[in-house]
Structure formats: structure tokens, C-alpha cells
Amino acid sequence: MASQETNDGTVQQGGAPLAERVKRASFGEVQALVGPTVAWFALFLIAPLLVILYYSFLTYTSFSVEHTLTLSAWESVFEPTIYDVFLRSLVIGVAVTAVTLLFGYPLAYYLRFYTSQNGGILLLLFLVIPFWTSAVVRTIGWYPILGRTGVVNKLLVSWGLVEAPLGWLLFSPFSQIVGYLAAYVVFMAAPIYISLSQIDEDLLDASETLRGNPVETFRYVTLPLSMPGVVIGVIFVFVLSIGDFTVPQFLSGGEGTITTLIYLSVNNGLNYPDAAALSIALLVVIFAIVYVLTRFVDISQIAKS
């Protein structure tokens, strides 16, 4: 196809400016690339959420659901007992996130500054090995370790540190924290390690040149620059822990969380409206907390780097 140049210097091809044709082609490529992703999210995320939202307004009768709109399921969400379970779930999520950050940040710091790059990545991959088994197996695996006849109690008794096995090691808040920590520390350490790896060595050298001690360097250089990774890790751990079912079900000793309440609503009475309302309420709370966190720290800095 012949090309021609107009009086203003614009190259035309087939009667249309070349720049316009390239722009149209680029727009078509963007649609082709983005289209499948948008369709996937619409089909497997938005549509199921809309179905759950619809079910939260249906009427529940004995072991069945009538397609009559009502607010009874949402009224039960604001009952004092449900409010207490929500509050307990949030407290557990915050506590697990804090403990995981307490262990995950030093781990990421060590892997970044005291091991080679390949060694740090390899050690992080070792933390993924437990995920090769199911969550139920990983959770029940704490029984022979923390139980009254478990390894920890046997060692404590044999060493004379305690006279009788400790009952609070299992089916207690302690066992819950241990279960969450073992499961989610990698989700905290990995983004922090990535964020620490992107810190320019020249900034650390400049702090040392200006006679900044290690504590000052960490406080004014390392910690602020690693905050995007910290926030991403906090979001990961908080969302995963507050939505976890296996740990509170097998290690809590009977204290329910919002996820166990959702499970019992479906398992015991097929009460889909109550389960749907609780699920949507939990999702709204999680979105609100994530939104607040992302207002303080720009987590996109990791992608930009």
C-alpha cells in the first residue's frame, strides 16, 4: 500500500494518518490482552459475589431457602453474639499479623543482609515446602507436638522444667497463634524481603559515611524504604488469617470465629442466607481495612522498582 506525505508532514497510508492507524492498532491490542482477564474476573469473581449478595436477602425456612426478599439475615449480623464473634475474629487477625510481623521482619532482614541473593531466595522457598500438603494435615500435625503427650510436654517434664504436662499448649490462643505463624510467616517475610532487596546500597553507604550508626540507618533509611513490603505482608497475613477455617476449627478449643460461624450456618442447617450475609459483611470489613492501609503507604512502589 502506497504511503504519501501531506503538506503538514503527516505520513498517510491508505488514506488515513499513520499515527492514527498505529493508535487504533494499539487500542485493539490492549482490548485483546485485557479482555480475557476482565472476563475471567467478571465470571469467577464478580458473578459469584453477586450470587452470594442475592442469597443474603433471601428467606430461610427449615433446611430450605425461599426466593422471597427479606432483611432477616442482615438483621442477624448485627446481633450481639455475632458482633462478639466479629470482634474476636478481628482481634485474632490483628494479633496474628503483629506476631507474624515480629518474626517475619527479622527473618527477611537476615536473608537480605546476611545471606547471598540466591541463598535468601532458596531459604524463602524452603518456607513454601509445608504448602505441598493440605492445610488440614499441617494443622493437625501440631497435635503430637503440642499435646499433653506431645514432644514439647515430654521434653519439659523430662528436663524437670514442669511437674505435669502443660494443658494450655494445645486448644488455646497459644496454639492458634503458633498454627497461624507457621502457616503465614512466609507471606510476611517474602514481600518484606523483596522490598529490602530494592534498597539502593548507595543509600546505606551514605548513611554510614555520615556517621549514622546501625540503629539510625535502620530507623531513617531501611525501615521507611521497606514499608511497602511491610504493608503488603500485613494485608496478606491479615486477610488470610481472618478468613482461615482450619486453624480455629482444629486448634482453638471451641472458640469460634466468623469463618467457623459461616461453616456452621451451612453445615448444621443449610442456612445459606445467614452464611451469605456474614460472608459479605466480612468482605466489606476486609476491604475497609485494606483501603485504610493503602492510604498510608503506596504499595505500588515495589512494582515501580
Looking at every residue in the chain, the average pLDDT score rounds to 85
User: Is the per-residue pLDDT at 160 higher than 70?
Assistant: yes
Q: What SS3 class is residue 155?
A: helix
pLDDT of residue 26: 60
Pairing between β-strand 64-66 and β-strand 16-17 as defined by DSSP bridges: unpaired
Q: Return the higher-pLDDT residue of 108 and 9.
A: 108
Q: How confident is the model at residue 11 (pLDDT cuts 50, 70, 90)?
A: very low
Helices (H), 42-79: 47-55, 72-77
User: Is the per-residue pLDDT at 15 higher than 60?
Assistant: no
User: Is the per-residue pLDDT at 23 higher than 80?
Assistant: no
One domain, residues 253 and 106: yes
What are the DSSP calls for 72-112, one per residue?
A: HHHHHHTSHHHHHHHHHHHHHHHHHHHHHHHHHHHHHHHHH
One domain, residues 32 and 159: no
Domain containing residue 36: 3-47
> C-alpha angle with apex 123: 117 to 125, nearest 5 degrees?
105
Percent of the chain beyond pLDDT 70?
Answer: 89
Whats the size of the chain, residue-wise?
A: 305
One domain, residues 102 and 19: no
One domain, residues 198 and 238: yes
Evaluate whether residue 55 is within a structural domain: no
pLDDT of residue 63: 81
State the average pLDDT over residues 25-46.
Answer: 81
One domain, residues 176 and 298: yes
One domain, residues 11 and 124: no
What are the DSSP calls for 211-266, one per residue?
A: T--HHHHIIIIIHHHHHHHHHHHHHHHHHHHHT--HHHHHHSSS---HHHHHHHHH
Evaluate whether residue 63 is within a structural domain: no
pLDDT of residue 56: 92
Q: Closest Cα to residue 181, out of 95, 116, 108, 289?
A: 95
This prediction's pTM: 0.81
Q: Return the higher-pLDDT residue of 9 and 121.
A: 121
Evaluate whether residue 53 is within a structural domain: no
pLDDT of residue 303: 59
180-195 pLDDT per residue, tens:
999 999 999 999 999 9
The CA radius of gyration of the chain, in Å to the nearest whole number, is 27
User: Is the per-residue pLDDT at 54 higher than 90?
Assistant: yes
One domain, residues 28 and 96: no
Q: 19-28, 29-38, 64-73, 270-279: which range is least confident on average?
A: 19-28
Evaluate whether residue 277 is within a structural domain: yes
One domain, residues 99 and 9: no
Q: Closest Cα to residue 180, out of 243, 272, 112, 271?
A: 243
**Burial of 159 per CB tally in 10 Å (0-12, 13-18, 19+):** exposed
Q: Return the higher-pLDDT residue of 51 and 6.
A: 51
242-254 pLDDT per residue, tens:
988 888 888 887 7
253-303 pLDDT per residue, tens:
777 788 888 888 888 888 899 999 999 999 999 999 888 888 887 777 665
Evaluate whether residue 113 is within a structural domain: yes
For cell 504511503, name the residue: 3
User: Is the per-residue pLDDT at 102 higher than 90?
Assistant: yes
What are the DSSP calls for 272-301, one per residue?
A: HHHHHHHHHHHHHHHHHHHHHHHHHS-TTH
Evaluate whether residue 61 is within a structural domain: no
CB atoms within 10 A of CB 79: 10
pLDDT of residue 74: 92
State the average pLDDT over residues 61-75.
Answer: 88
**Burial of 251 per CB tally in 10 Å (0-12, 13-18, 19+):** buried
Q: How many domains does the chain have?
A: 2
Q: How confident is the model at residue 304 (pLDDT cuts 50, 70, 90)?
A: low
One domain, residues 106 and 10: no
pLDDT of residue 252: 81
pLDDT of residue 7: 52
One domain, residues 159 and 98: yes
Which residues lie closer than 8 Å to 91 by C-beta, 6 or more apart?
none
Q: Which amino acid is at 152?
A: V
Q: What SS3 class is residue 5?
A: strand
User: Is the per-residue pLDDT at 127 higher than 90?
Assistant: no
One domain, residues 187 and 277: yes
pLDDT of residue 278: 92
Q: How confident is the model at residue 94 (pLDDT cuts 50, 70, 90)?
A: very high
One domain, residues 145 and 263: yes
Q: Which amino acid is at 210?
A: L
Cβ proximity of 250 and 139 under 8 Å: yes
Cβ proximity of 196 and 109 under 8 Å: yes
Evaluate whether residue 54 is within a structural domain: no
Q: Cell digits for 60?
A: 430461610
For cell 496478606, name the residue: 236
Evaluate whether residue 70 is within a structural domain: no
pLDDT of residue 99: 95
Q: Which amino acid is at 114?
A: Y
